[in-house]
Amino acid sequence: MKAAIYTKYGSPEVIQIVDVEIPSPKSNEVLIKIKASSVTRADTMMRQGIPKFGRLFLGLFKPKNTALGTGFSGVVKAIGSQITKFKVGDEVFGEKLFSTGSNSDFLCMSENELLENKPKNISHIEAAPICDGFLTSYNFLKEHAKLKKGQHVLINGASGSLGSAAVQLAKIMGAKVTGVCSTKNIDFVLSLGADEVLDYTIIKVNELQSKYDVVYDTVGKLSYSNTKNVLKANGIFMTPVLRVGLLWQMLRHPKKVKFEATGIKKTEDLKRLLNDLVNFFKQGKLHTHIDKKYHLMDIRYAHQHLDTGRKVGNVVIINP
């Protein structure tokens, strides 16, 4: 089978497509034929080895784990002897972390990992990014912001994968939403349900007169220090993008500044959040926006597109 890997840090040119053996499922695993997989900003940061202090965990001089891709959707092709939840032919989706990547033809997963049946009303392409943008943003809005009906949230980077998910989720949760994006994406963010959209090329967040219960910076371009004047007395600043400065802000203002790597939460907690998302998708309340689709052999171009910073929604790898 084909799989995308990287053995050193750098530009998209470091990505290789290699031939490897199709894995055999263990007794507690299922073998999945990948139909679609995600490519995210987190993937590009890992490929570049940035921020550099992250290499203490990823590998100091070269990546310890060479696999690429986390989110996926596909079809169960074989099951282990102890599997009870899934059967051959089931359409499933989920996220694979810290081992074999999802940017490949096949993947083995334990049924106890982040793996669920795909809602029938969405495609594999629409399901593949759910555990990236939607799950991360839902974790931040529900677990960290504890967002309530009537509260006002400002979402920076509202047209990206995390941002477009957050706009929809915040509206489902009953909040008023202000999105921040570039000029060309204003109509798109409004179509997601945002109550208002600000053009970051014209308006600076720290100069706003409004006060927000939550500032959710999905792209790591803001900080607590330059947004605290637009937060209400009990407001919080949160971001999934880790930076050295953010660590210092968290130490100084632990109740005001929130960060978490969603993927390392306990699996049972992630499954609980994912179950909510599955129900929202089944009810037609959430929609995945796909910016571009690439074949696995062209994954370098997917990374090049993400490196431009112009992605709108999600980028997906499709397999025949």
Cis peptide before 51 (omega within 30 of 0): yes
Beta bridge pairs of residue 230: none
Task: Give the contacts of 64 (CB within 8 A, at least 6 positions apart).
Answer: 58
Is 115 in contact with 275 (CB distance < 8 Å)?
no
Q: How far apart are CA 76 and CA 91, in angstroms?
A: 6
Contact (CB, 8 A) for 249 and 225: yes
The model's confidence at residue 170, banded by pLDDT at 50, 70 and 90, is: very high
Instruction: Tell me the mean pLDDT in the region 256-282.
Output: 94
Look-up of token digits 């990992």: 113
The span from the CA of 87 to the CA of 78, in Å, is 8
Instruction: State the average pLDDT over residues 19-24.
Output: 96
Do residues 290 and 316 touch, judged by C-beta distance below 8 A? yes
* Confidence at 249, pLDDT banded by 50, 70, 90: confident
What is the arithmetic mean of pLDDT over 88-102? 92
pLDDT at 261: 86
- Mean per-residue pLDDT for 148-163? 97
What sign has the CA pseudo-torsion 161, 214, 169, 141?
Answer: positive
User: Does residue 295 surpass a pLDDT of 80?
Assistant: yes
Mean pLDDT along residues 309-314: 93
What are the CA-CA distances from residue 29 to residues 98, 250, 268 (Å)?
A: 16, 39, 17
% of the chain at pLDDT higher than 90 = 87
Which of residues 133 and 54 earns the better pLDDT score?
133
pTM above 0.75, yes or no: yes
User: H/E element holding 281?
Assistant: helix 267-282
pLDDT tens readout for residues 108-145: 999 999 999 999 999 999 999 999 999 999 999 999 99
Mean pLDDT of 12-35: 97
The model's pLDDT over 173-225, given as tens digits with 9 standing for 90+, comes to: 999 999 999 999 999 999 999 999 999 999 999 889 999 999 999 999 999 99
Give the pLDDT score at 58.
Answer: 85
Q: Residue 42 carries which side chain, given as an amino acid letter?
A: A
Residue-level pLDDT at 250: 86
Residue 244 has pLDDT above 80, yes or no: no
**Which SS3 state, helix, strand or coil, does residue 39 take?**
strand
Distance CA 318, CA 320 (A): 7
Residues 296-318, mean pLDDT to the nearest whole number: 96
Q: For position 320, what pLDDT does the model report?
A: 81
Average predicted confidence (pLDDT) for the chain: 95
Q: What pLDDT was estimated at residue 116? A: 97
| pLDDT above 80 (res 2) | yes
Task: Point out which residues pair with 290 in neighbouring strands.
Answer: 314
Across 22-36, 98-112, 176-190, least confident range: 98-112
DSSP state letter for 249? H
β-pairing verdict for 152-156 and 176-181: parallel
